[in-house]
């Protein structure tokens, strides 16, 4: 058996609670080739400079998905004609996080157009109310699970309300989103079983969204989906049905799988730094800088994958054409060349240029919303939890290496004020 590469160690669940020492080893070479059994290998960019440069390089593609390969139906006619047509229409390749310009830019612009300042501001107020209600429900508890009791329900409700998904359907999104988030894990692309499960989930959520879009066309309301379905895009045309379905799915999945981790990584970090928790309790105005530091120090999205469209010379190496790339955002965030004393959690850092929301063309669309939600959650937790103590440290982690965060975060308390 060949030795485990550093990239294998990144993916290894044994390192999930603390992957940072492996990242430090990877940073010794700004860009390194990791053996993966293929001729070109997988190339990992681990320093801030190389990641930032590759994020904006037009020779780097976001389209890392293999060709559509849904499970066959067994009926030759369906498999030959109907299915390929349906796959082409209802294809996860239409999800714009996996697309390149110009298609990516057109779809993204449509979403940005609907993601108005007023809408985001309204969700800020709503997030504060939701956090207050969720904590009120646990008022007499002596223990909370920060994931189940707050960090998970908050973003699900926020993104569903923003999109006008009826409240009774919110629970469906838990399972769908958790399954589809695995598409961001590198090994899911080579694992046929995971790909099949993702295809089936994509069909299920796609069917649901198609019905909801019809409803929003008949009875438009003041929500993002009604806006996307009925209003012209900035380019003047309405978004096509299948792009609309894929884009809604992207927003609904991206909108909560990541924010959950920012809130739980945030509470975990604060409980490990009680002085910072106390400072936040005394002064909620510290929340924005604290959240920026969290996005650097414990980013919910640890890495993203890409493919090269042509050979690229960078940091003394040549990455060949059609090579798989891993942009190790969380490692760039610990690069001492940009962040002095990088392993120290220090919300008073200035001029932070963290990569927690990515960068360039694919910079996170939901960044303002995620910041507000985390701010609402963490300030309320700091203010209202009486004598919070971690029950397990490290807590159990979810399986994902790319979307990394605790599965549960049990905290003992003396009550909630």
Asked whether the beta carbons of 119 and 224 are under 8 A apart, the reply is yes
Q: Where are the alpha helices (DSSP H) in 273-286?
A: 274-282
Residue 376 has, within 13 A of its CA and on its CB side, a CA count of 26
Report the nearest approach of ligand HEM to the CB of residue 118 (Å): 15
Nearest approach in angstroms of CB 2 to ligand HEM is 29
Closest distance of CB 140 from ligand HEM, Å: 30
Residue 163 CB, shortest distance to ligand HEM, in Å, is: 9
**CB of 66: closest distance to ligand HEM in angstroms?**
17
Measured between its terminal Cα atoms, the distance across the chain in Å is 56
Quote the least distance from Cβ 362 to ligand HEM, whole Å: 3
Which candidate, 299, 319, 297, places its Cα nearest to that of 310? 319
CA 28 – CA 90 distance, rounded (Å): 43
Closest CB to ligand HEM among residues 34, 64: 64
Q: Which residue is nearest to ligand HEM (CB)?
A: 366
Give the span between the Cα atoms of 326 and 51, in whole angstroms. 9
Within 10 angstroms of residue 237's Cβ, the number of other Cβ atoms is 10
Give the total residue count for the chain: 417
Interface residue list for ligand HEM (CB under 6 A): 62, 96-97, 108, 159, 250-251, 254-255, 258-259, 262, 299-301, 304, 356-358, 362, 364-366, 369-370
Tell me whether residue 55 or residue 229 sits nearer to ligand HEM (CB atom).
55
For ligand HEM, which is the closer residue by CB, 227 or 416? 227
59: DSSP letter: T
**C-alpha span between 160 and 168 (Å, rounded):** 10
Reduced to 3 states (helix: H, G, I; strand: E, B; else coil), residue 353 is coil
User: Shortest Cβ distance from residue 221 to ligand HEM (Å)?
Assistant: 18
> What does DSSP say about strands 31-34 and 42-45: parallel, antiparallel, or unpaired?
antiparallel
DSSP codes joined into one string, 168-194:
GGHHHHHHHHHHHHGGGSGGGGT-HHH
| Alpha carbon distance 114, 112 (integer Å) | 5
């Amino acid at each position: 058996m060949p030795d485990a590469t550093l990239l294998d160690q990144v993916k290894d669940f044994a390192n999930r609670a603390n992957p940072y020492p492996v990242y430090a080893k990877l940073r010794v070479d700004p860009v390194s080739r990791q053996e993966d059994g293929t001729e070109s290998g997988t190339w990992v960019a681990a320093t801030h400079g190389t990641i930032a440069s590759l994020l904006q390089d037009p020779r780097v593609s976001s389209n890392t998905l293999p060709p559509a390969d849904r499970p066959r139906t067994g009926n030759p006619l369906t498999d030959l004609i109907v299915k390929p047509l349906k796959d082409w229409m209802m294809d996860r390749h239409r999800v714009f996080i996996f697309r390149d310009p110009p298609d990516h830019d057109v779809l993204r612009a449509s979403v940005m157009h609907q993601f108005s300042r007023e809408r985001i501001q309204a969700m800020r107020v709503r997030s504060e109310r939701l956090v207050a209600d969720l904590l009120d429900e646990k008022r007499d508890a002596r223990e909370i699970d920060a994931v189940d009791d707050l960090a998970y329900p908050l973003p699900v409700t926020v993104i569903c309300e923003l999109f006008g998904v009826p409240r009774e359907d919110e629970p469906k999104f838990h399972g769908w989103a958790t399954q589809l988030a695995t598409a961001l894990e590198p090994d899911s692309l080579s694992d046929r079983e995971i790909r099949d499960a993702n295809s089936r989930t994509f069909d299920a959520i796609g069917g649901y969204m198609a019905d909801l879009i019809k409803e929003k066309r008949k009875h438009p309301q003041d929500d993002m989906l009604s806006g996307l379905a009925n209003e012209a895009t900035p380019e003047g045309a309405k978004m096509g049905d299948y792009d609309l379905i894929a884009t809604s799915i992207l927003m609904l999945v991206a909108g909560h799988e990541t924010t959950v981790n920012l809130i739980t990584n945030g509470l975990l970090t604060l409980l490990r730094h009680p002085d910072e928790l106390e400072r936040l309790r005394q002064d909620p105005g510290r929340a924005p800088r604290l959240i920026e530091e969290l996005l650097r120090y414990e980013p919910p999205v640890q890495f993203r994958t890409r493919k090269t469209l042509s050979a690229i010379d960078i940091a003394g190496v040549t990455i060949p054409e059609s090579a798989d790339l891993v942009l190790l955002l969380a490692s760039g965030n610990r690069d001492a060349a940009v962040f002095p004393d990088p392993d120290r959690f220090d919300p008073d850092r200035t001029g932070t240029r963290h990569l927690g929301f990515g960068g360039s063309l694919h910079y996170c669309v939901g960044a303002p919303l995620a910041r507000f939600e985390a701010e609402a959650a963490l300030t309320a937790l700091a203010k209202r939890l009486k004598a919070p103590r971690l029950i397990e440290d490290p807590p159990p982690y979810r399986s994902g290496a790319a979307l990394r965060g605790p599965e549960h975060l049990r905290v003992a308390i003396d009550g909630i004020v």
